[in-house]
Structure 1
Amino acid sequence: MSKNEVNIKNKRARFEYQLDEVFTAGMVLSGTEIKSIRNGKASILEAYCIVESGQVFIRNMHVSPYENGSFYNHMARSDRKLLLNKKEIKKLEKWLKTKGNTIVPLKLFLSEKGWLKLEMATGVGKKLHDKRHDLKAKDDRREMDRAMKK
């Protein structure tokens, strides 16, 4: 992985949630946070997004403290503001009003201009039988691929 490449994914998101609409948002970060994320020291596995007073935040995202940071270093698990336009925020706020709906972070990446972006999706948690169905379909595809190669 090169110095300017960030690719932090939430691999469990598609397995745990039935995803609907995908959004891309910028993120407000401090200097030590972006340096730590560029080093790949972040996790969005347990993170989720909330809408609070007309603003969207990502909660429970872990960004390890920067090794060379002094007392200016950031908190590892603080709420970080996401940058979306008002229309998208209203849409997300409306989505969250229904019980069981959530906003799941999918991946962190750098844009062409070098800005850190978060890809997130609206989703509903899957039931156990849905997860089993997905696993069975995955196994069936694997078996078919093996049969085709022989």
Structure 2
Amino acid sequence: MKQAAINIKNKRATFDYELVETFTAGIVLTGTEIKSIRLGKASLVDTYCFFERGELWVRNMHIAEYFYGTYNNHSARRDRKLLLNRNELRKLSRLTKETGFTIIPIRLFINEKGLAKIVIAVARGKKQYDKRQSLKEKEDKRSMDRMFRK
């Protein structure tokens, strides 16, 4: 019996940020955390990544407590370490030292081997007028689709 594919997205990311470059990273998780992710009980709202002592961490990622987890249960919003190779970490560190850039998680998924992976992106924050332009383009595309369907 094949389980449904887990694909948790950060929908605000593309609206609030202009994505420059993306990377796929592994996550260090406990047993109850991976079980909650497999049930789809995770959220990437308001998450961001930061460097601490040369390691990349994700902060504010919400993974709900596992229902059947007893005293072994995890805290829902703890910092989690991301696994990248040294060259990728060096490149990310260099890119984020430039002003205006940040690292944000875009998507959380489970790969074919059953491991939880997270897609992160180096992003630049959009200005208010850029957000309005994005909304206008989205609305124009929607109206064009409606016209062609009729």
Query: What is the TM-score when the length of structure 2 is the normalising length?
Result: 0.95
Structure 2 counterpart of 1:85, which letter? N
- Identical aligned residues as a percent: 54
Corresponding position of 2:112? 112
Show the counterpart of 1:57: 57
Count of matched residue positions in the alignment of Structure 1 and Structure 2: 149
Please give the residue correspondences for 1:16-31 in structure 2 after superposition, counting only pairs within 5 Å.
16-31=16-31
> Residues 1-150 of structure 1 correspond to what in structure 2 (within 5 A)?
3=3, 5-150=5-150
Deviations 1:78-111 (A, max 9, x none): 1101100000001111112122211110111111
- State the Cα distance separating 1:133 from its structure 2 match: 0.5
Q: Which runs of 4+ in 1 moved over 3 A?
A: none
Distance in 2 of aligned mates of 1:14 and 1:124 = 10
Normalised to the residue count of structure 1, the TM-score between the two structures is 0.95
Secondary structure of the structure 2 residue equivalent to 1:118: strand
Give the aligned CA root-mean-square deviation in angstroms: 1.2
1:47, 1:105 within 8 Å by CA — same for their partners in 2?
yes
User: Aligned partners of 2:22 and 2:37: how far apart in 1?
Assistant: 22
Aligned mates of 2:77, 2:145 — CA distance in 1: 42
Would the aligned equivalents of 1:51 and 1:92 in 2 still touch at CA under 8 Å? no
Amino acid at match of 1:134: S
